[in-house]
Amino acid sequence: MQELESEELMVDGQAIKVNLWRVGDRKIVSLDSFVKTARIEEEEYEDVEDPAATIDALREADPKPDIFTFVQRLPETEPKYSYYREWESIAAIPITTYDHWLKKQVDPTARNKVRKAQKAGVIVREVDFTDEFVKGMVNIFNETPVRQGRPFWHYGKDFETVKKQFSRNLFREDLFGAYYNDDLIGFIFLAYAGKYAMLGQIVSKIEHREKAPNNVLIAKAVEVCEKKKIPYLVYALWVEGSLGEFKRNNGFEKINLPRYYCPLTAKGKIVLKLNLHHGLRGIIPENLKVRLKNIRKKWYARKWGNI
């Protein structure tokens, strides 16, 4: 028996209404928008083992979502179901050994940056989520309002907000800090999703960019994956631009996973048929997206300086 609820979540300082459905022990969520596209709340960590049963249960809900979407997780890359699907590209490093990654998978420039960071005195160590660590996070977050050509969504957050938001998943995460002269200059939250590990957050001080803290933090993540015999390290979606180049240089590969879309209402069927299930973002040509991103980056550079 599924139960429909709703709640408000704070996202970037704004209250966003979210619809919740409970199917068995799974929580399924969707934004309260014109087209309600639902998915498992923490799909990065859970497989949809019986999608037909989930779809049947959601169809009995009142009101019901318009579309239910789910993705196959690594290492299952071949489609298992006959539902309508699209390919979702993630960035992942297949892990064998640390030495293989450093010598064979990374770009020579990234390899040199790892060594440069170590020679510069950057030390990476596992840390606890203490108040001192949170203060260091806040200091890094508030260094600049813009990162990668867009407003940085953690900029301006205070200690209590950061502590609350980043303590939610500590039960499945390890934390690593990059230190220079005992000052925190970067960190990662390494989350474990059963069949792979994920970079839940990786941020460092722009002031110390020349010391390559992000490169040495990824090196630590690869080292941990080898020790724990975790076969993949995932860094969100595959993207272009400077972030995409950073991922490629550090050994991440493009891996396609099947994402399924199952219409549950007449509206959902129409939206899928018209290819509107991604909203406006889905109908803008890729070359135009690149141009718009470049315009946005230049605008923020003029407003905030070249940061």
Q: Do the domain assignments include residue 251?
A: no
The string of pLDDT tens digits covering residues 231-285 is 999 999 999 888 899 999 999 999 999 999 999 999 999 999 998 888 766 666 6
Q: Please list, in sequence order, all residues whose beta carbon lies within 8 angstroms of the beta carbon of residue 224, skipping any fewer than 6 positions away.
A: 174, 176, 190, 197, 230
For residue 116, the domain's CATH number is 3.40.630.30
What 8-state DSSP symbol labels residue 72? Answer: P
Q: Is there a domain that residue 172 lies in?
A: yes
Cα–Cα distance, 80 to 78 (Å, whole number):
6
pLDDT at position 66, please? 96
Residue 11 has pLDDT above 50, yes or no: no
Reference 307, options 141, 137, 149; nearest CA is 149
| Residue pLDDT, tens place only, 185-194 | 999 999 999 9
Instruction: Domain of residue 131: give its range.
Output: 96-230
Same domain flag for 210 and 270: no
Same-domain status, 222 and 104: yes
In this prediction the pTM is 0.87
Q: Do residues 298 and 264 both lie within one domain?
A: yes
* pLDDT: which is higher, 160 or 298: 160
Residue 225 and residue 111 share a domain: yes
The DSSP secondary structure of 19-61, one letter per residue, reads EEEEETTEEEEEESSSS-EEEETTTTT---S-HHHHHHHHHTS
The sheet with strand 183-192 has its strands ordered as 4-11, 14-23, 26-31, 37-40, 67-71, 253-263, 85-94, 232-237, 197-204, 183-192, 173-180, 123-127
Same structural domain for residues 16 and 56?
yes
**Do the domain assignments include residue 138?**
yes
Instruction: Provide the number of structural domains found in the chain.
Output: 2
H helices present in 22-169, as ranges: 51-59, 98-100, 108-120, 131-141, 159-165
- Quickly state the pLDDT bin for 12 (edges 50, 70, 90): very low
pLDDT surpassing 80 at residue 291 = no
pLDDT confidence tier of residue 198, bands split at 50, 70 and 90: very high
pLDDT digits (tens, 9 = 90+) for 82-94: 999 999 999 999 9
Averaged confidence pLDDT in the chain? 88
pLDDT computed for residue 294 by the predictor:
60
CA–CA gap between residue 289 and residue 285 (Å, rounded)? 6
